Chains A and B, each alone.
Chain A
Amino acid sequence: MTGMKIKENIMKWLVWASIALTAATLAFIVLFVVVKGLPYLKPSLFSLTYNSVNVSLTPALISTVILTALALVIAVPFGVFASIFLVEYAKRGSKIVKFIRAMSETLAGIPSIVFGLFGMLFFVTFLGFGFSVLSGALTLAIMVLPIVLRSSEEALLAVPDSLREGSLSLGAGKLRTIFKVVLPAAAPGIFGGVILSSGRVVGETAALIYTAGTVAQIPYSPLQSARTLSVHMYALSGESLHVGEGYATAIVLLVLVAVINVASSAILKRANRNRI
């Protein structure tokens, strides 16, 4: 056997080992959670109200959906419009573009607990929203803003200039060109950023504990406190009385994330049918 051949074999085994390790890690985590949580995944866990005897996860599940939706509704318009400014209106490579990009990258690198602290001082205390869904959603909106901004920016940049020229050459104005041609063409990329953001929101705990609070109830007003599934899990394992139920909650969280991913790729596929 030549040296070349040996090297090739070693490389091949290394690649396979990495694949196996990655897959095994994921499989182990899922299996671990399922084995620990499945015995506790009873119908009573889905009752509408939470109490100290039956730590129902339904309020948390509903809060998660509401909070995620609210955070995205706040962050997505800002992120998308900011990216429209950066790509379509600002001079390419100008100082302001570089400045905003640097700011958003810094924002993306800040640990979430810092956002939590800011949210508590600003939204909860200064603006007087209290520990509430609103404070939590606003805080998380700021946290995911750079993700939305960057992914929409990339998506808009990927739209070929020939489409813009085609629209302008028909006598369309800039605004019409952006909303009728450029944005639809960039929609899948923007949507991808939104999904990524929803993943961040669903998985967040640190920034929420100090802004949305930890009350386990279905919020009927944006000014009420609520806990998301992740916070619920954190609380259960912290209290150490219902660790099993915590694992059961983790199963539900995994399923929720899987549902979001499957649904979003189905939506993308549907949207793409009209393009290609």
Chain B
Amino acid sequence: MNCFSVKNLNLHYGEMHALIDIHFDMKYREITALIGPSGCGKSTFLRTLNRMNDLVEGCRVEGSVRLFDEDIYTMPDVSMLRKRVGMVFQKPNPFPMSVFDNVAYGPRTHGVRSRQELEMIVEKSLRDAAIWDEVKDRLKKPAMSLSGGQQQRLCIARALAVSPEVLLLDEPTSALDPLSTAKIEELLRELRSKYSVVIVTHNMQQAAHISDKTAFFLLGELVEQGDTKELFENPRDERTAEYISVKVSAPQAACAAPVDIPARLAG
């Protein structure tokens, strides 16, 4: 069954044609990595999947994006969609409140009031995000007091707390040190048994390491999508081959890749 199925997707920021005729399919409980150079539209594409682009002025979306056979752009309630499709951002963005309240924010938003139930959800989410042992004694402490890597795992826990069906991650490790990055990669590999995940990454090793499927974006087009191993070893498209060979032969450069400028700023 397809979890996401995208057809003829076109996206404009005012005059700029940012996504061109995208066809994209994703299976249930798979990790798909989106790769490509800065400004190629992969983050923009990610944001069409939970309609975060709705917030950008002058953004126009055409085509169909289906989540389990439901067109998300005709859904009456965006918040229900966003409950089902969670998102983790490039920079950790914990709210200025306690660790507990951060994780409980989503469930509370969707009507969970009982303290007991909240405590259960918070513990489970923090365990799933592999941070429970580090924060179980400081649930009342402000989330800002955690380290960057912990903050990002807290944000993952916060996203998991509303039991999403899909988790979108926008370069979740680009602002983190190698140790925290390794922890989050390990966490993502564990998550794939329970969730469907789409992750944008600049890091080829990361894509090869954690994903089942990979999609390569270039200049607003989805050039190629396939099994990760297949795509890295036998790319069908020349452009993919070129991008991968440059990136893999210069891993240093890949690690030091510049932070992706959000397309909405560029546009």
Interfacial residues, chain A to chain B (CB-CB below 8 A): 91, 160, 162-163, 165-173, 176, 180-181, 184-185, 273-276
Q: Which residue of A lies closest to B110 (CB)?
A: A171
| Cross-chain contact of A171 among B83, B97, B142, B145 (Cβ < 8 A) | B83
**For the complex of A and B, 7 pairs with smallest distance between CB atoms:** A171-B83, A171-B79, A162-B93, A169-B87, A170-B106, A171-B82, A166-B93
Q: Write the B21-55 contact mask toward A (1 if CB under 8 angstroms, else 0).
A: 00000000000000000000000000000101001
* Number of cross-chain contacts by CB at 8 Å: 76
Min CB distance B93 to A, Å, is 4
Is B80 interfacial (CB 8 A cutoff)?
A: yes
Instruction: Tell me if A165 and B95 are in contact (CB < 8 A).
Output: no
Complex Cα distance, B94 from A185, in Å, reads 11
Tell me the residues in window 152-202 of chain B with beta carbons closer than 8 Å to chain A beta carbons.
155, 158-159, 162
Q: How far is the CA of A171 from the CA of B98 in the complex (A)?
A: 20
Q: Given contacts A170-B162, A171-B79, is CB(A274)–CB(B87) below 8 Å?
A: no
Interface size class of B (residues with CB under 8 A): 20 to 34
Residues of B within 8 A of A168 (CB): 52, 55, 82
Give, as a whole number of angstroms, the nearest-CB distance from A183 to chain B.
Answer: 11
Instruction: Map CB proximity to A onto B133-157 as digits: 1 under 8 Å, 0 otherwise.
Output: 0000000001011000000000100
CB interface residues, B 78-130, toward A, < 8 Å: 79-83, 86-87, 89, 91, 93-98, 105-106, 109-110
B-chain residues with CB within 8 Å of residue A180 when the two chains form the complex: 95, 105
Report B143 CB to chain A, min CB distance, Å.
Answer: 9
Neighbour of B109 across the interface among A163, A176, A273, CB < 8 A = A176
Question: Given A169-B52, A170-B106, A185-B96 in contact, is the A275-B79 Cβ separation under 8 Å?
Answer: no
A180–B97 CA distance with the chains assembled, in angstroms? 10
